[in-house]
A and B are shown apart, each in its own frame.
Chain A
Amino acid sequence: MSTTTGSSDGATAPGARRPPTAAIHSTEPLPLQPEEVAIHIQDLQFYYDQDAQALWDIDLECPRHRITALIGPSGCGKSTLLRCLNRMNELIDGTRYEGHIFLEGTDLYGTEVDPVALRRHVGMVFQKPNPFPKSVYENVAYGLRLHQKLTKKELDERVQWALEKAHLWDEVKDRLDDAATGLSGGQQQRLCIARALAVEPKVLLMDEPCSALDPVATQKIEDLMLELKKDVTIVIVTHSMSQAARVSDRTAFLYKGKLIEAGPTRQIFEAPREDLTEQYITGRFG
């Protein structure tokens, strides 16, 4: 490098040849630091029954207060993986897993972990908004009553707090006693988010939360996610490549039950390392 002088108007002296080596700046992403990791999935295998393995050798880390997107073709195991994170798959008979999932250092499948208490820390929002057939207020208050003893005033405050967090308060503050099913799809989805947030979870799992919504309602949920990640770690399943690219910090690509590649979203969408990832995100699959 020291011999490459004279680039402007003095000519390079003859014989001062540079070594013909080029430097390659690897775009290999830096690994996450242990202290940034909120969820650590280690060598996870998951079976719906004896001969129906759905996930193979999953190793994945989700950073705290960031959004991790799970992408991949239909049936690749995104929802299955998401449901492993709050032990919802256990509700299905005959399922079995191997490996570990650590949430803030605690093994979720450890014997001392109560799955019901766990689901307070790991909230979930589904593809189709699924409010209870109750009032707007009750939808949010229900989970709070289940987990905590609160006075009426405390409960009112927490309901308002959660609805504000979910950017829904202004739209429903005058109709808290109306049936939740009377809200629009986008409002119902934000109500489900408020319901999940009310118990102050550490993690929010979202399984295609916008697939039933129009672009405006989708935009509202995306804005909301970016704000919520200040307080919670979010894992989202999405079929929209552009949504994953817009909102997530990290992206994991699953294919046929295996994790093909995970990394910073920018890297996955600009310079993926695996051909399969490239084929999938550029729409050249199969």
Chain B
Amino acid sequence: MVREGFQIEVETIDAQVGEMATLARGMLRDGLQSLLDLDREAANVVVSRADELAQLDEDIETNVLSLLALQAPVAGDLRRMGAALKLITYLNRIGRYGYDIARMTQGWTEGLDHVARPVYLKEMASKVEAMLDLVLAAFRDHAAPDASPLVELEDDVDALRYSVWRECLTYMAQDTRHIEPSAHYMMVARYLERCGDNVCKMAEKLHYVATGERLLLP
């Protein structure tokens, strides 16, 4: 007795989670780019996508809850649906960090320039994106994400955050006009580091879905 309707509903939810992941990842990338370019137009676009993110979060939650109530999934199906509820929370956070960075761009003092090209932030973001891609590929393949490259990337992100922090301290000590942009950089570095953590949490959930065993990343 293969439950066809049930299978279709699971696939719909999977597709929605994939869609939300693409959106969140894009908001983070575009949000940061808007700040690097001090491009208000681009920031406005990111900010305008927050409603879509919230809507997907709500739709997926509703769909998962009704599937749980009506179909009472078990085993791998149950774990995947449980994970979907968690994944959308992490994805929502990641998208919201992109939104927050875009808001910084919008609020950036007119005429104020970057202190220096914030290369570390760009590098941090590309590592977070690489982590996210690794985890999303595992989600698509119904596989457990490979932990060791993730942990390595996350360590890099943490180390870069420290570099940003140290660099910003020197900027701020040099010139009080550097304080505003530096404070923003430090905040963005903090957001990106949080995004890395969220991706690791996603990896732990997907590991449980795929294997039935709990993984705790260091």
Contacts and interface: CB of A to CB of B under 8 A. Distances in A.
Given A12-B158, A21-B218, A25-B214, A270 B75 contact: yes
Contacts of B76: 278, 282
A22 B147 contact: yes
A26 B213 contact: yes
Contact of B218 (A12, A15, A18, A285): A18
A101 to B, nearest CB: 30
A27 interface: yes
A284 B151 CA distance: 36
B78 interface: yes
A1 interface: yes
Max chain B Cβ within 10 angstroms of own Cβ: one of A4, A11, A278: A11
B124 to A, nearest CB: 12
Interface in A16-37: 17-27
A22 B215 contact: yes
Interface stretch (B48-56, B93-101, B160-168): B160-168
A242 B161 contact: no
B158 A19 contact: no
Given A11-B158, A241-B74, A283-B1, A20 B151 contact: yes
Nearest to B7: A284
A155 to B, nearest CB: 45
B15 interface: no
Contact of A271 (B79, B151, B155): B79
A24 B218 CA distance: 10
Nearest to A278: B75
A132 B208 CA distance: 52
Contact of B215 (A1, A24, A270): A24
A94 interface: no
A13 B73 CA distance: 45
Contacts of B163: 14
Contacts of B1: 283, 285
A245 interface: yes
Contact of A269 (B78, B151, B152, B214): B78
Contact of B161 (A12, A22, A23, A269): A12
Report which residue of A9, A14, A20 has the largest number of chain B beta carbons within 10 angstroms of its beta carbon: A20
Interface residues of A, number: 35
Contacts, number: 91
A12 B190 CA distance: 11
Nearest to B190: A9
Contacts of B152: 20
A17 B155 contact: yes
Contact of A270 (B79, B155, B158, B166): B79
A273 interface: yes
A18 B73 CA distance: 38
A273 B211 CA distance: 9
B213 A27 contact: yes
A11 B166 CA distance: 9
Contact of A281 (B74, B159, B197, B218): B74
Interface in B32-82: 72-79
Given A242-B72, A271-B79, A282-B77, A22 B151 contact: yes
Nearest to B6: A283
Interface string B1-35: 11100100000000000000000000000000000
B212 interface: yes
A272 interface: yes
A284 B212 contact: no
Given A245-B72, A270-B79, 4 more contacts: A17-B155, A25-B215, A241-B74, A271-B208
Interface of A: 1, 4, 7, 9, 11-15, 17-27, 241-242, 245, 269-273, 277-278, 281-285
Interface of B: 1-3, 6, 72-79, 147-148, 151-152, 155, 158-159, 161-163, 165-166, 190, 197, 208, 212-218
12 contacts: A7-B197, A18-B155, A21-B151, A21-B218, A22-B151, A26-B213, A269-B74, A273-B212, A278-B75, A283-B1, A283-B6, A284-B2
6 A-B pairs with least C-beta separation: A271-B212, A25-B214, A11-B162, A20-B151, A23-B216, A22-B147
